[in-house]
Structure 1
Amino acid sequence: MTLTQQILWGSIYLGICFLIEIILLTWCTQVVRVASLRLENSKRFVSIAAPICIALFFIVAIHTFQVWLWAVVWVFGDVLPDWNSALYFSLVTFTTLGYGDIVLGEPLRIFGAFASVTGLLAFGLSTAFMVALMTQVFKEELMS
């Protein structure tokens, strides 16, 4: 891939991952809102723990889906030989850990870096989402 192609395709996959994350976090917000209303008269522990558990479930699912999406790119693009290597590389890259035992060739280095950028931004967005959720949950609990 040329540099321009790496930037273009990396940006496309980054955009797809964020579109998925935004859609699923929006769905999560709706699910948390409905659950909170249903648990309004429940014990305090349950009314606090339920939204947190729901949000964490969604966030783990979102990140797992994104890791799999990048693994699909590595396997179907004939970059890595098998699913084990592709998932491992995808996860290590997405979390920005980068062990370095699997390295992409020069024609894909920039494209591969987009997987790291995707993970870095996804974790930031998920953290901001959890902080906002926790702030709202505790605000509601303090007011009740």
Structure 2
Amino acid sequence: MMSICLLLQGILVVAALRYYARQRQAMPSRFLASMRVTGALMLILIAGNTLQFTAWALLFYWLGEFATLNEAIYHSAVNFATLGYGDVVMSAEHRLLGPLEAINGALMIGVSTAALSRAFSVALQELVTTHPGPPPH
């Protein structure tokens, strides 16, 4: 499951950053384009992370760990975000999947953060080069 999530995240990040670069080039105001496309990038990455914890939830549900898919999704989202509430736990047989998902979530959220940091860095650099000088008072 972790390999599938890593592959999915990699595909999404590359696709999102390629989209970001193409869209940024096509707009007249580089800074505004960067901000708009960075917002779209955020949504794509959030959707990717949501797909990943939903995939984990489907695995938990398929394994019979939860009576409802809603409960599996809640548990999975808590694991993926590394919140660790502990109000819903899996059986001893599958309990190790929780920490594995948490590790996976931390890595994938880190990859998303790196992609967003790059996009913000490019947008800020464009602002500085487009409008040099001290900020207005």
Residue of 49, 58, 64 corresponding to 1:72: 58
SS of corresponding position for 2:85 = coil
In the alignment, the residues of structure 2 paired with residue 27 and residue 95 of structure 1 have an alpha-carbon distance, to the nearest angstrom, of 23
Q: Secondary structure at the match of 1:106?
A: coil
Aligned to 2:16: 28
DSSP 3-state at the match of 2:67:
coil
Runs of 4+ off more than 4 Å: none
> Does 2:106 match 1:120?
yes
Contact 1:35/1:50 (<8 A) preserved: no
What RMSD, in angstroms, separates the aligned Cα atoms of the two structures?
Answer: 1.4
**How high is the sequence identity, in percent, across the aligned residues?**
25
Segments of 5+ residues of structure 2 without an aligned counterpart are 131-137
Instruction: State the number of aligned residues.
Output: 130
Matched, 1:42 2:17: no
Does the 8 Å CA contact 1:17/1:66 hold for their aligned counterparts?
A: yes
Corresponding residue for residue 3 of structure 1 = none
1:143 Cα shift? 2.5
Normalising by structure 2, report the TM-score. 0.88
CA contact under 8 A between 2:24 and 2:30: conserved in structure 1?
Answer: no
Matched, 1:134 2:113: no
| 2: CA distance, partners of 1:128 / 1:43 | 21
Aligned equivalent of 1:81, options 67, 80, 83 = 67
Q: Identify which of structures 1 and 2 has the higher relative contact order when contacts are C-alpha pairs closer than 8 Å and 6+ apart.
A: 1
Structure having the larger proportion of residues in helix: 1
The C-alpha deviation readout for 1:25-62, integer Å capped at 9, x for no partner, is 000011111110111x1374x22321221111111111
| Structure-2 separation of matches of 1:78 and 1:113 | 18
TM, length-normalised to structure 1:
0.84
**Distance across 2 between alignment mates of 1:30 and 1:116:** 28
Taking the aligned partners of 2:123 and 2:79, their CA distance within structure 1 comes to 33
